[in-house]
Amino acid sequence: MIRPGTPVEALDTPSLIIDLDRVEANLRSGAEIAAASGVALRPHTKTHKSPYFAQRQLAHGAAGITVAKVTEAEVMADAGLTDIFIANTLFGQAKAERAAALAARVRLAVGVDHIEQARALSGAMAGAARPLDVMIEVDTGSRRGGISPADAPALAQEVHALPGLSVRGIYTYEGYTYEAADREELAAVQRAAQDVMVRLGDGLRELLGIDPVVSVGSTPGLLSGAGYRKGITEIRPGTYIFLDAAQAALAGGVEACAAHVLATVVSRPGPDRAVLDTGSKSLTSDTRSSGICRTAGYGLLPDFGLTIARVSEEHGVIEGEGVERLRIGEKVRVLPNHICPVVNLFDEVIGVRGGVVELVLPVAARGRLK
């Protein structure tokens, strides 16, 4: 049991520490950017996986939340969240039935980029009192999921005609923003994607007679300073709440990061090598070696200007100049490259304020894979 009032440096390691004041500052800043562009903010909760932080986002004016999985949506609904968008395509009877059950008790939308997914959802909605909202996923350059802009209107029309379904709008994931070389290119790719989405939204208005939600998402997009053009109605950033080594620069520096892994120097096997008790089992092996969010190695020690050169499951190895400053037994802060999957590796996070523990929060939606 970790008691409130415990100083951070007394905590066992590795632990995932969240600075609650910094969270509030980041949420405020994100909300201000959204308000300045007149877009609704629907944060992606995959970054924190916790109803507590989802509620903090609502307190800062978020219109609803985003999740990646129907099981994550269930966790959030059980905790009292009432407006949830599953920004992912789901397939199969089991998941369609869970989504249909959930739609009976919260305001729900589900992503679709193929008519077969929609047919499964439509089948599960048979007999439902009100239709399930569907958002059509559009590929604006991430080359992941999403239908091509050219094919999106026809799919939207087909889905809208299915019993039990109603198209709410369109969404895209701006994954390519991470690969922009600088702020200028970042703003340019954002504008290009927004133009595509707004045109598609205008088309849907005529085609379906709806006032469509036009939703874009990514934290680099939020922090780029480019803003959102008229016709974009909703944004879904995730990482902005905590930030990480990759995104710190866009937010003004490592001081903006609200999350770090507290680790111990458990071994000093040679003068030029130190080993931390945090490896891929707590930092992941995610790298970010190119683009505006590039960062070296597997985690940054902001208090030493050092990076973790190699990870195995339980070990983070630091080598070379500067290592001599790391004493065995010392506890150090590590900023992960990519905070979202790191949160997924911890059963709980430790919320601190002014360097002392305020609360311990279960990562309630951790490991929800389905």
Give the binding site for its own copies (CB under 8 A).
Answer: 12-14, 46, 68-69, 88-92, 94-95, 113-114, 116-117, 120, 139, 143-148, 175, 264-270, 273, 275, 277, 280-282, 284-287, 310, 312-315, 317, 319, 328-329, 340-341, 344-347, 367, 369-370
- Contact assessment for residue 118 and residue 134, using Cβ atoms and an 8 Å cutoff: yes
Nearer to its own copies, 38 or 269 (CB): 269
CB of 164 to its own copies, least distance (A): 19
- Contact assessment for residue 148 and residue 200, using Cβ atoms and an 8 Å cutoff: no
Cα radius of gyration (the chain): 21
CB of 131 to its own copies, least distance (A): 22
Q: How many CB atoms lie within 10 A of CB 269?
A: 10
Residue 127's contacts (CB-CB under 8 Å, 6 or more residues apart) are none
CB of 207 to its own copies, least distance (A): 21
Nearer to its own copies, 212 or 279 (CB): 279
CB of 268 to its own copies, least distance (A): 6
CB of 279 to its own copies, least distance (A): 9
Residue with tokens 């989405």: 197
Secondary structure class of 270 (helix, strand, coil): strand
Nearer to its own copies, 279 or 351 (CB): 279
Spatial CA neighbour of 112 closest among 136, 94, 133, 129:
136
CB of 249 to its own copies, least distance (A): 21
Nearer to its own copies, 59 or 328 (CB): 328
Distinct helix (H) and strand (E) counts, the chain:
10, 18
CB of 133 to its own copies, least distance (A): 19
Q: Which pair of structure tokens corresponds to residue 291?
A: 């683009």
Nearer to its own copies, 138 or 257 (CB): 138
Residue 170 is classified by DSSP as E
Task: Determine the Cα–Cα distance for residues 99 and 116; give it in Å rounded to an integer.
Answer: 15
Nearer to its own copies, 29 or 157 (CB): 157
- Contact assessment for residue 278 and residue 13, using Cβ atoms and an 8 Å cutoff: yes
Task: Determine the Cα–Cα distance for residues 149 and 154; give it in Å rounded to an integer.
Answer: 10
Nearer to its own copies, 1 or 129 (CB): 1
CB of 184 to its own copies, least distance (A): 25
* Displacement of CA 201 from its chain's centroid (Å): 24
- Contact assessment for residue 207 and residue 155, using Cβ atoms and an 8 Å cutoff: no
Strand 107-112 and strand 132-137: the pairing is parallel
* CA angle, 345 then 347 then 353, to 5°: 100
CB of 129 to its own copies, least distance (A): 26
Nearer to its own copies, 246 or 340 (CB): 340
- Contact assessment for residue 244 and residue 317, using Cβ atoms and an 8 Å cutoff: no
Nearer to its own copies, 127 or 270 (CB): 270
- Contact assessment for residue 197 and residue 232, using Cβ atoms and an 8 Å cutoff: yes
